[in-house]
Chains A and B, each alone.
Chain A
Amino acid sequence: MTTKVGVVVFPGSNCEQDVVEAVDTIGGFGELLWHKDTGLGDVDAVVLPGGFAHGDYLRTGAMARFSPIMDPIGRFARDGGPVVGICNGFQILTEAQLLPGALYKNRGLKFLCQPTMLRVNSTGSVLTRGLSVGDELNIPINHFEGNFICSEQVLAQLHDKNQIVLTYRDNPNGATADIAGICNESGNVVGLMPHPERAAHPLLGSTDGALLLKGLISGD
C-alpha cells in the first residue's frame, strides 16, 4: 500500500509542494494538511515543511506551535507515528517540545543557502533506518536560524540515547556538536535543518535526500 504523507501548510510555509513532489517521486503519496485542521485523516506520516510559518516575526516556530493541527500531531507522535520537521518544521518541533533544544541565528549572522555534506550519525531514526552510520550525504541547507543549541545535559542525553541523527562535515552555522538533525528517544520524531526534498532529483545535483525520505515511506 502506498504510504500517505501529510504535509502541513501553515500560512507562510513555502516548501510544502516541494516535499509533496519529492515524496511522490520516490513512490509515496503526499497530501497537504491545513494548519487549522483538527485531525490528520488517514496519513501514515507527517512532515512539517520549511518556510516562515506565520512570518516567523516573533521567534521561528513560536506561533506555529499554537496552530490547531499541532494537537493531533502531538498525539500522533506520542503514539509512535513518524513526524519529520524540515528546517522551519524542525524549529516548530522544538517550540512544541516534541524535540529538545532550539535553533539560533547562524554564527555568521547571514542567511545561508548552499549545499552541505552530512554524515549519518545514527540509524535509529525513521529517516536513517535504511542507511549506515558514517554514510555521507550531499544535501543543501537554507536558513538563517539553523544553529542548534541545547543544555549540556540535553546534549549528553542526545549522545547517550543515540539521538543525533545527522552532523555537518563542515559546520556552516555554528551548531552545537555539528548537529544537523536529531530525533526523539524512540526515533519516530525527527528534526533536521537540511532540505532532503531539494536533493531528490538528478537534475538538482544530488539524490541523497531521497535516501532519507525513503525511510518515511518504506513502512515498518
Chain B
Amino acid sequence: MNEPLHRSLGLTDEEAEAIEEILNRPPNHLELAMYAVMWSEHCSYKSSRLHLRRLPTEAPWVLVGPGENAGVVDVGDGIAAAIRIESHNHPSAIEPYQGAATGVGGILRDIFTMGARPIAVMDSLRFGRPDDPRSRWIAEGVVSGISGYGNAVGVPTVGGETVFDNTYAGNPLVNVLCLGLMPADRLVLGQASGEGNLAVLLGASTGRDGIGGVSVLASASFGDEEEAEKRPSVQVGDPFEEKRLIEACLALLDAGLVVGIQDLGGAGLTCATSETASRGGAGMEVDVAAVPRREPGMEPFEVLTSESQERMLAIVFPDGLDDVLAICDRWDVQASVVGRVTVGGLLRVRDGIDGPVLAELPAASLHEDAPLYDRPRHPPADWEDLKADAADQLPPPEDVGADLLAMLSDLSWVYRQYDHMLFLNTVVGPGGDATVLRLKHPATGADTGRGLALTTDGNHRWCAVDPRAGTAMTVAEAVLNLACVGARPLALVNCLNFGNPEHPEVMWQFSEAVDGMAEACDAFGIPVVGGNVSLYNESNGHNIDPTPVIGLLGVIDSLIRIPPGLAWSEGDRVIVLGAGSAELSGSLWAASLAGHKRGRLPELDYEQHRRVAGLAAGLVADDRLSAVHDVSSGGLGVALAEMAAVSGIGFRGARIHNHADLFGEAPSRVVAAVDPELLPEVEAAAAATGVTVARIGLATGDRFAIKGLLDLDMSAITDHWRSAMSDFAGQAQ
C-alpha cells in the first residue's frame, strides 16, 4: 500500500496541511519528519494540554513549575530540589530491560539539565499478573534494567511501588521519578540565547536506534504482530556513558561555561535544538554533518530524529569552548560543535556549516503551533448502573483468613536489586510508607539536620471505579504516606497513564482525573510542579484502567531519629487514628478476589484528612509511636498483617466486625502501635485535634487473630508474605 509520507510518520491529513500553511510551501521529507516527532502526542501533549491547565501550579516555594525539564522548589538552607517523573511504558512493553534502563537514563538527564545532581530515583511499576509468563518476563526484565542501569550510573533507587493486575497484561507501566539537589542560586534553564554562541553536542554518537520512538512507540497502540517490527525503535542504554556525562555536565555548570543545557530525549536533536532556541527567543543553525555517528550512511532525517541515549546539547560561549572541551576530555566525553545560535527564530539545518540548507522552519512552530485537541469525552453509557453496583453486595468470603493471606506479598525481591543506600542519605528506604532522605547541602555536604520525604502512589482500582474521586484519594494517600514518616508535603509531580485518547471514555477518565487531582491539590495546598502524560496505553483493543501516578515530595523539619516504620513491639497497643466507613467498592479485595471494579468510593473529607495527617506527623515527630502504617490497598487487614510480618510479632484484635471492616479502603486512616504508657497521651493528642481513635488490639505473641473473624498462625502470615513472589523472582537458593 502506498500511503502518503505524512501518514506513515504518524501525522494526520489536517496536521500536514497546517505544516504547509506554516511554511507557505510543501515541507520536504526532513522537515516533515521533524514536525512528525515534535507534534507527536508524546512531545506535544496535544490531547492533554487543554486539561492540564486546570492544575494548580503555584506556591511561594516553587522556583520552576511545569513546562521545563523538571520542576524546582526551594527546600530551604539555600538548597533547591529538582523533581520529575516520566513514563517509559511502551518501550518497556517491547524490550523490558532496555526500555526500563533508558527510562532511568532519560529522567536523570532531565534533572542534571537543570543544574541539579540526581540523588534519588523512585520507580512506579505495574505489570500483568505474575502467573502470566509474558508478564513475568516483562517484570523481570524491567527490574533488571532498572537495577543494571541505575546501580551502575550511581544514583540510588530509594523506593517506589510494584503492582500486579490483569489490566496491565499487554501494557505494563514503567514510571520513573528522579530527585536532584542544587544550590538554589545555580538554576539552569534549557535555553539558547546570544547570537554566535555555540551548540555543543555532548556524549554518545548518534545511531539509528530509537528513530521516531515518540511517534511510533509512545503515541500509538499495539497489537501483537506489530511489536516485533517496532523493536528497533527502542533505544539502548549505556550507564557508564551517562555517569561520565553527569560528571562532565555538572563540572561545566560549576565552571559557569554554559548559557543553557538541554538533554536529548524524545525526538532527539530536533527537540533539543528547537526547544532551546525557541525558549531563548532565538534561532539556530545546525550542521548535520558535524554530528558524530555510530554508523555510516545515515540520512539527515535519521540523525535529526534519532533517540540515541546519553547525549546532551550545551549552549556555550565561543570564548569558553576550549575550557568546555578540556572538561569533557577529562571525563572522556565526546564533544562536538554542531550549531550556533542565530537571531530571527529560524531553525536551519545544513549539510556542512556553509553547506546546502536541508531544512528551514520557525523553531517555535515545532512547539507553539503544535495541534491542540479538545477530544470528545463522555462517561460510560452505563455509568449510573456501574455506580449502583456496590462491592458490598458481593458474597462475603468463606474464609476471611485465606483472603487476607492471598493479598500479602513482600516486594523486597525487587528493591534488594537496587542500590538504595548510595550517598548516605537513605534513612528510610524502600518498603516503608515513604522514603526518608537526609538533606545535605549539595555543594558543601553540610548536614542541615532536616530531611526530605518522597512517595509515589497510584491506584488504578479506585480510578477505575471513579477517576475523579480515585485520583483525589491517591493524592490524599500520598499525603498520609508522608505524614507517617513525619513529613509535610511540598510539591507534586504526576505521570498520567491512560488508554487511547481517541476513545471518548478514556478522554473523560483523563479529564475527570485532572479535576480530581486539582481539587485535592487545592485542598492540601500542594502545587503541581511537573508532569508527564502517557496515552495510548492500549493493547489489542484493551485500554488500561486509568492510572494517574503521583510523586509527592515533602520535608521533615527536624530529622533527629529514624521514623518508627512498620515494626511494632511486643505489648504495644494497636489503635486506628481516623474513622472511616466500611465500603468495599474499589478495594483490593473486591478487585483481586472478585474481579469487581464498580460502585462508589468511600467519601474523602479533606478537613478530616488534614487533621489525621497532621496528627500522625506530629506524633512521629514527637517520637510517640512505636510503629505506624497508613491504611490503603487491602484495608486495615493488610496494614495490620504487614506490620505483624515485618516485626515477626502477632496481633490480637477485636472490634473489627466483618470483612468490610477488615478490607474496606476508606481514606484518612492510620494504624499506630503505641507503648501502653504513652497511650493516654496519644489519645489526648487525637482528641485535641478532633480525630477519632479506636483501640483495636494488642501486638503480641505468635498468632494473628481477630475475634470472631480469623485466627492465623504467624508463620502463615510470614510465609505467605515472603513466598508470594519468591518463585517469580528466582530467589530460591
Contact = CB atoms under 8 A, between A and B. Distances in A.
A8 B60 CA distance: 42
A12 B416 contact: no
Contacts of B423: 17-18
B239 A113 contact: no
Contacts of A1: none
B243 A11 contact: yes
A101 to B, nearest CB: 22
B421 interface: yes
Q: Which of A110, A201, A205 has the most CB atoms of chain B within a 10 A radius of its CB?
A: A110
B317 interface: no
Given A14-B154, A110-B731, A111-B151, A55 B424 contact: no
B240 A203 contact: no
A201 B424 contact: yes
B730 A204 contact: no
Nearest to A55: B240
Contact of B559 (A12, A140, A203): A203
- Size class of the B contact interface (CB-based, 8 Å): 20 to 34
Interface string A104-131: 0001111111100000000000000000
A45 to B, nearest CB: 20
Contacts of B240: 11-12, 52, 54-57
A11 B332 contact: yes
Nearest to B729: A110
Interface string B404-430: 000000000001111111111011000
A196 to B, nearest CB: 12
Interface in A1-31: 11-15, 17-18, 21-22
B139 to A, nearest CB: 13
A110 B562 contact: no
A198 interface: yes
A195 interface: yes
Contact of A51 (B154, B238, B426): B154
Contact of B730 (A13, A108, A114): A108
Nearest to A18: B424
B154 A109 contact: no
Interface string A83-113: 0000000000000000000000001111111
B331 A110 contact: no
A208 interface: no
Given A52-B240, A55-B152, A107-B733, A14 B422 contact: yes
Contact of B416 (A17, A113, A198): A113
A21 B445 contact: yes
B424 A21 contact: yes
Contacts of B109: none
Interface string A34-63: 000000000000000001101111000000
A13 B415 CA distance: 21
A203 B562 contact: yes
A144 B562 CA distance: 28
B244 interface: yes
B215 interface: no
A18 B427 contact: no
A142 interface: yes
A167 to B, nearest CB: 18
Contacts of B733: 107-108
Given A11-B244, A52-B152, A107-B733, A142 B421 contact: yes
A112 B417 contact: yes
Contacts of A113: 151, 415-421
A103 B244 CA distance: 25
Tell me whether chain A's interface is mostly helix, strand or loop, or mixed: mixed
Given A18-B422, A107-B733, A113-B421, A203 B438 contact: yes
Q: Which of A56, A108, A200 has the most CB atoms of chain B within a 10 A radius of its CB?
A: A108
A110 B416 contact: yes
A197 interface: yes
Q: Which of B247, B419, B445, B559 has the most CB atoms of chain A within a 10 A radius of its CB?
A: B419
A10 B371 CA distance: 48
Contact of A204 (B416, B427, B731): B427
Contacts of A142: 151, 419, 421-422
A86 to B, nearest CB: 12
B215 to A, nearest CB: 31
Interface string B221-251: 0000000000000000011100110010000
A196 B247 CA distance: 25
Interface string A183-214: 00000000000010110110111000000000
Q: Which of B147, B240, B244, B445 has the most CB atoms of chain A within a 10 A radius of its CB?
A: B240
Interface in B410-468: 415-424, 426-427, 438, 445
Contacts of B247: 11
B130 to A, nearest CB: 16
A27 to B, nearest CB: 16
Contacts of B424: 18, 21-22, 197-198, 200-201, 204
Contacts of A205: 562
Nearest to A195: B421
Nearest to A174: B733
A12 B243 contact: yes
B331 A112 contact: no
A219 to B, nearest CB: 25
Contacts of B239: 52, 55
B445 A17 contact: yes
Contacts of B147: 110-111
Nearest to A16: B154
Contacts of B438: 203
Nearest to A56: B152
A145 to B, nearest CB: 12
Contacts of A54: 240
A45 B127 CA distance: 48
A195 B422 CA distance: 10
A98 B300 CA distance: 51
Nearest to A53: B240
Contacts of A12: 152, 154, 240, 243-244
Nearest to B429: A113
Contacts of A51: 154
Contacts of A114: 416
A198 B421 contact: yes
A197 B424 CA distance: 8
Nearest to B732: A108
Interface string B286-298: 0000000000000
Contacts of B415: 113
Interface in B663-692: none
7 nearest A-B pairs in the assembled complex, by CB-CB distance: A55-B240, A14-B154, A52-B152, A111-B417, A203-B427, A111-B147, A18-B424
Given A55-B243, A201-B424, 6 more contacts: A11-B247, A15-B422, A52-B239, A111-B147, A113-B417, A142-B419
27 contacts: A11-B243, A11-B247, A11-B331, A12-B154, A17-B445, A55-B238, A109-B730, A110-B147, A110-B731, A111-B148, A111-B151, A111-B418, A111-B419, A112-B416, A113-B415, A113-B417, A113-B418, A140-B421, A142-B419, A142-B421, A142-B422, A197-B424, A201-B424, A204-B424, A204-B426, A204-B427, A205-B562
Interface of B: 147-148, 151-152, 154, 238-240, 243-244, 247, 331-332, 415-424, 426-427, 438, 445, 559, 561-562, 729-731, 733
